[in-house]
Structure 1
Amino acid sequence: MAATFTTDPLAAPVRSWAQRLGPAVEAEFAPDAQVFQELLDPGSLLNSVHSVCAVVLVRLDDWLGEDEPRALDEFSAAVRGFAAWRRIPLVVQLCPSPSVSGDDPWAERLTAELAGLSGVHVLGVDSWDGGLPVADPHDPARLRIAHIPYTKDGYTALGACAMRSVHALHALLAKPPSRYSPSTVTTPCGTGWTTGVRSEDELAGVVEIVEPVGVVCAITPITRPTAVVVFKALTALKTCNPIIFPSTTRPWKAARKPRRSCATPRSGPAPHRTACSG
């Protein structure tokens, strides 16, 4: 774990949350304000062969005395290089700054630049407290004396957020492969998948899955048998559900040809064809 500020008060909360959450990792801290060195130096703590997850805590006010746009660009380049070299999860936690009361354009820019980077998870300022309410986390006196920007409660909340993120990533990497992996999802329609994994939140460990409900019994009216059969058959085909059409003798002749076409489609994967019967 590396940060742009002093991390000594963070050690006790992090180890306490590690014992509560139970991840099979031990937290180690890099020297204070050595974020760039930790990301770029092959011999640093974050680049150690024993590291299974890296956490970087960024307080943008620590870069106010420098050329902030240049610092953000250099940080983004360092994160990209680390992600390409180490191939381990990297959590970038944006920490609160007293100079920012609302939306921070620099934080939004950094989040946009690192979005979509494989293995890199950027957590915004709105999630820094780990769900623990903290009225005012800033401590100007300790910041001026020892570059300790937060109160005891602020460091406790920050440690909870960091360790919950590490715990979620550890659980995600340790779980067995899911039968709903992207390689096994089914029929595509338009620009997305109709079944399989719809969305996945790696840090929260939540996977939203869409799957068939089973056999569908459809009613065929005698007034519009052909249109209804085609529409319901295509809907069932899209959602990978088998469908049964009970019909009387009168609309059977009109609906028989569309039924045969749906029962033996010329396109689409064979294991997910929709079976139609009368």
Structure 2
Amino acid sequence: MDMLKGMNEALNYIEENLANKIDLNEVANRAFCSEYHFKRLFSLLSGITISEYIRRRRLTLSALELKDAQTKVIDVALKYGYQSPDAFSRAFQNFHGVTPSLSRSSDQNLKAYPRMAFQLTIQGGTEMNYRIVEKEAFKIVGVKNNVNMINEILSPTYEEMMAEINDTKMRELASMLNMAPYGMVHASANYSEDEEGNATFNQYIGVASTKEEINDYTTLEVPASTWAIFEIDGDWPHIENHWQRIYSEWLPTSSYELTEGPELLVSDEHKSGIWISIKKK
């Protein structure tokens, strides 16, 4: 519950400062977590980045203010953090589909993005099997992709990343697997966001190994950590649903919080495991 309270305090702070410069470190402090932790948690719970949320809220309010014929476009642009009317106009048109000037028309349809609030929803009683494991540092050897997420669309897609690993590479990776976690590891690391709401991260697909990498493979050093490991049976939609439940149901009611570090999905035939690094609150 403390996590939900902190997230909502952060949203209150954002709402009160939409017309001011918003320091995301201060936003994270209101949620009692690091900036990295807050950005990742917000993105996983809401489906969009925190920067994109702020942008949408500002463009929603700016459209309402422009309904007043006496309000100047440049004043609204500056109020909501845009350095020029042109930059504001481009962002406004991308979001609403019309220019700021045309939005004043009484018969013009505009978009509204309501403010968010996080709450704990009681779902049907579905078990979540997990265990808490202390693990020393280890490394993942595999293929690395630099991924961009723009408007919730990944580039390259996971399908494209997996297609890059042919049968030869798959056999080479399998030959290097010699320690837990056993299976193919999909690791997301170094998550960051820009002011436009676009996110980037590194996606590694490989295996846990003590061997030196071969050919053109890359190594991800995973630090020693406490891990919550959730066991899953099912296809990708089931995994995605389980991942969402971890952050929206398990984490808020547990005695743990996230720590900085990669998130792992370990696949072995028809079974999967989600690994998240945690610490005691």
**Same fold judged by TM-score > 0.5?**
no
| Structure in which a larger fraction of residues adopt helix | 1
| Structure in which a larger fraction of residues adopt strand | 2
TM-score norm. by structure 1 comes to 0.24
